[in-house]
């Protein structure tokens, strides 16, 4: 089982999760009805932190919930547990083993907060620490770079949002998720395009990755895959933060990657920025987009499936980004199955 195999498995993993995770979320819902959370705190590291970023937008935009991304080292370094007794506290970890994430959930539970573990390892310290558990059921993930566990984490977050909307009488929210397995299958057809783009950029050493709104998580995760695997120093930015300074870096030929779908997350200001980066700075632009006009702005473009609900698009758009990082790694003369200096489970404290 290689990293590429695990990328290709994702439609099946998501299809399975959509039918298996509902019961656990209904259990959480019953608990929440007794004490509605006033806000949400999420702890995750690395790839799982990007699922938390996705949750901040999904739960914010669709459920009007304010989401705090925890700083686990407040507890693990300084020994202080902030008061989260009025929050729903979620720990996200593929392995369920990271002591700092486990500690955040344990402390929250001891304060009486409702707690949820989202993990691919149901027999893990994280699963044991939380009151409620979504088992991602993605099967063993052997590659060091997480792929199928990331999309499964995103789906778990989307299902949580849908379950909360269901309670408020929006019965249609859950049905929207059904489009995912087929859209994820279709997007695998982009592989020849991303492979060609990666080969043409062989030797790339640094780049900027842009995305905003729901797709900000995609930009972060895309950049992390590139850094873990290919040796490219890839720096992710939301458009707004990028305008506040790092834009100064972009010189002629500088590679800029962007996730720019047709909806709000690829709105006029992101397209305008891409045009300025190309014409004024001479940047070399690669975009992932379902929008023909946006693709026409770029030096290189990958077509995403059209007509997806915007809040679900990141679950699909990360797939060509994973494939891109995989092929960029090979193009840069490295082995995506054996990234340098990394191990699968990182036990940060």
Q: Hey, which residues between 91 and 150 contact a second copy (CB under 8 A)?
A: 100, 145
* Size of site (CB under 8 A) for a second copy: 71
Considering only the stretches 121-129, 148-156, 173-181, 230-238, report the one whose residues sit in contact with a second copy under the rule CB under 8 A: 230-238
The tokens describing 217, both together, are: 């998580």
Interaction of residue 238 with a second copy, rule CB under 8 A: yes
Binding status of residue 252 toward a second copy by CB under 8 A: no
Out of 13, 17, 18, 49, the only residue in the binding site for a second copy (CB under 8 A) is: 49
Distance CA 109, CA 62 (A): 26
For a second copy, the closer of residues 75 and 184 by Cβ is: 75
How crowded is the C-beta side of 55, counted as CA atoms within 13 Å? 34
Which residues on adjacent β-strands are paired with residue 116? Answer: 90, 132
What residues are paired with 209 via a beta bridge? 236, 257
Stretch (H or E) spanning 330: helix 313-331
Binding residue for a second copy (CB under 8 A) from 9, 15, 32, 60?
60
Q: Applying CB under 8 A, which of residues 11, 114, 211, 231 lies at the interface with a second copy?
A: 231
Binds a second copy by CB under 8 A, chosen from 10, 43, 72, 315 = 72
Confirm or reject binding of residue 264 to a second copy (CB under 8 A): yes
168 contacts a second copy (rule: CB under 8 A): no
Tell me if 335 contacts a second copy by CB under 8 A: no
Angstrom distance (rounded) from CA 159 to CA 153: 10
Span interacting with a second copy, options 167-175, 178-186, 260-268, 292-300, rule CB under 8 A: 260-268
Please say whether the beta carbons of 230 and 203 come within 8 A: no
Phi, psi of 40 (to 5 degrees): -125, 140
Instruction: Please tell me whether residue 253 binds a second copy under the rule CB under 8 A.
Output: no
Give the residue with the Cβ less far from a second copy, 166 or 235: 235
Q: Which window, 19-27, 49-57, 195-203, 295-303, contacts a second copy (CB under 8 A)? A: 49-57
Nearest residue (CB) to a second copy, 26 versus 172: 172
φ and ψ at residue 299, rounded to 5 degrees? -70, -40
Residue 348 binds a second copy (CB under 8 A):
yes
Cα–Cα separations (whole angstroms), residue 182 to 12, 138, 188: 9, 17, 10
d(CA 172, CA 218): 25
Per-residue binding letters, 275-304, with a second copy (x by CB under 8 A): -----xx-----------------------
Q: Does 267 bind a second copy (CB under 8 A)?
A: yes
Instruction: Starting at the earlier edge strand, list the strands of the sheet with 255-259.
Output: 233-237, 206-210, 255-259, 284-289, 300-303
Between 2 and 20, whose beta carbon lies closer to a second copy?
2
Asked if 34 interacts with a second copy (CB under 8 A), we say no
| Residue-by-residue DSSP string for 164-222 | HHHHTT-THHHHHGGGHHHHHHHHGGGHHHHHHHHHHTTT--EEEEE--GGGHHHHHHH
**Nearest CB to a second copy, comparing residues 31 and 62:** 62
Q: Which long-range contacts (CB under 8 A, 24 or more apart) does 81-84 make?
A: 81/107, 81/108, 81/111, 83/111, 84/41, 84/108, 84/111, 84/113
Site for a second copy in 188-217 (CB under 8 A): 205-206, 212-213, 216
Torsions phi, psi of 325, nearest 5?
A: -60, -40
Q: Segment contacting a second copy (CB under 8 A): 60-68, 118-126, 154-162, 317-325? A: 60-68
Among 23, 34, 123, 244, binds a second copy (CB under 8 A): 244
**C-alpha–C-alpha distance, residues 261 and 314, integer Å:** 10
Least distance to a second copy, CB of residue 207, Å? 9
């Amino acid at each position: 089982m290689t990293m590429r195999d695990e990328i290709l498995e994702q439609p099946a993993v998501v299809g399975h999760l959509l039918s298996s995770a509902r019961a656990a979320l209904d259990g959480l819902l019953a608990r929440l009805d007794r004490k509605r959370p006033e806000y949400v705190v999420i702890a995750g590291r690395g790839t799982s932190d990007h699922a938390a970023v996705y949750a901040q937008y999904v739960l914010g935009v669709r459920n009007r919930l304010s989401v705090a991304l925890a700083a686990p080292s407040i507890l693990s370094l300084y020994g202080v547990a902030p008061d989260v007794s009025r929050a729903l506290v979620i720990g996200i970890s593929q392995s369920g083993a990271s002591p700092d994430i486990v500690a955040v959930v344990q402390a929250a539970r001891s304060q009486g907060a409702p707690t949820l573990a989202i993990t691919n390892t149901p027999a893990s310290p994280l699963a044991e620490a939380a009151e409620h558990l979504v088992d991602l059921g993605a099967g063993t993930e052997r590659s060091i770079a997480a792929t199928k566990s990331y999309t499964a984490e995103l789906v778990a977050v989307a299902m949580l949002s849908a379950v909360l909307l269901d309670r408020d009488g929006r019965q249609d929210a859950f049905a929207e998720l059904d489009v995912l397995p087929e859209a994820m299958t279709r997007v695998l057809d982009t592989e020849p395009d991303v492979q060609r783009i990666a080969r043409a950029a062989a030797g790339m050493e640094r780049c900027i990755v842009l995305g905003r709104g729901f797709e900000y998580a995609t930009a972060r995760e895309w950049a992390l895959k590139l850094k873990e695997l290919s040796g490219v120093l890839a720096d992710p930015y939301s458009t707004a933060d990028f305008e506040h300074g790092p834009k100064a870096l972009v010189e002629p030929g500088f590679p800029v990657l962007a996730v720019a779908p047709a909806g709000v997350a690829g709105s006029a200001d992101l397209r305008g920025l891409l045009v300025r980066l190309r014409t004024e700075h001479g940047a070399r632009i690669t975009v992932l987009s379902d929008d023909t006009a946006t693709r026409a702005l770029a030096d290189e473009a990958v077509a995403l499936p059209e007509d997806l609900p915007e809040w679900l698009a990141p679950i699909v758009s990360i797939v060509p980004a994973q494939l891109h990082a995989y092929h960029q790694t090979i193009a840069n003369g490295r082995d995506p199955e054996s990234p340098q200096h990394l191990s699968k489970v990182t036990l940060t404290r």
